[in-house]
Structure 1
Amino acid sequence: MSNQIHIDGENYFITLAIKNVVEDVVRKSQLNIGHLRMVVVVDATPFLELQRFQKLDLAAWDLIFCSGYFYNIVSEFSPEKLNKFICVDNNITELRNDLAVQLKDMHRETIGLNLADELSPQKPLFTPCELAFINDYFSCMRAKQIARVTGNNVKSVSNKKRNIMNKIHCTKNSDFYITLYFLNMLHKVELELHEPKTKVRTTVAWQRVSGQEAAAFQYAH
């Protein structure tokens, strides 16, 4: 069986650097990983990296090299999928060690020696009420609109948003959008975007986001 290593990635230099590390680890471990599908999604900002993720079918890849930003999201909210993610933000020694452990575990699974119990199913991350709010908010509805539709006041709506952001450790709107879109890819939240439920000027609804956040909405739609 061929042990030729191929790693996909849009950034040539980052992909080449990671491939060199992988080849060094494989050479020392003498593992055959030629059959593995590997991809590098690391980019300059979390938003750009999210765009790379959105082009992938996560289930189709065996190893995904990503930044600590996304690795931490997986570790916190989807640990059962952590065995296919490698954080490249570590120093070179830690990266080599993490990769060596990961490849050995994958090799054991391939030959049927992994006897570890599967992780217990996790309870839903969000309540039905929180999911409804998230989908309203991501459908470009402002706090006043959501309050009008749900019969709550604006302060209650703002508090609900803040509580949801705290639950997923977000302090900025940009992190809120990126984290939820990524959790959607991990099947931890179902984003069902819809037309705003009240008649408002679309341009007004979009004024609450700017720069990368507005682009995130456009990309999702």
Structure 2
Amino acid sequence: MTPLQTLLEQSSLHDVCGTAAKRARLKATLSPTPTTKQVDGDLKLSEGQDLLLEEGRVHVKGHLILDEQSRLLVAGDLVVEGNIINEGFDYALLFVGGALTASNLLFHGELVSLGSISVKGVAWTYYNDHSTYADLLTARVVVADDRAEAVDVVRADTHLNGHSSQITEALGKVLDAQAWDAQKAGAYRELAKRLGQGKELLREG
């Protein structure tokens, strides 16, 4: 059984990823292959689907979309030219053994990077049953809605952490007008739809 297959046996990765030391120990067990897997369009995981990729680099030219109860585990680095989208409230998992990069991220499930997470626009996580685990998260705007994260360092122009009712006013200052209307209505599905269409959530500038 490979290390990625072993991780699939866990109901949560908190016990093995909850600290920087634990993440470093886990990373040392991985042996990604010296190859690159390229996905020319979107990579979509359907409900309940598991996908394990042992390559040292996975490059998704489009969006990465995970349905509820889906799990994607990558042994090496994951580069997503588009957006990472996981909308809902049931468990889902994105595990990256190296560094993770994307344009934007909207995620409710468990999110793990044993390297850094780098997002050009907004890195938005929500739902308090799950957490994000990483040494470093960099984005223009970081939103953690009703969620306790295990990220050692956050670098962002705007970092909002708290229940949606507490951060609503601050969100209104950074969101695009249509995204702001969706957020006020509590419609994460609409925010996910916008990202799937390649639209921005943030105001320009």
When normalised by structure 2's length, the TM-score is 0.27
Q: Which has the higher strand share?
A: 2
Structure with greater proportional helix content: 1
Q: Which has the higher contact order (CA 8 A, sep 6+)?
A: 1
Larger radius of gyration: 1
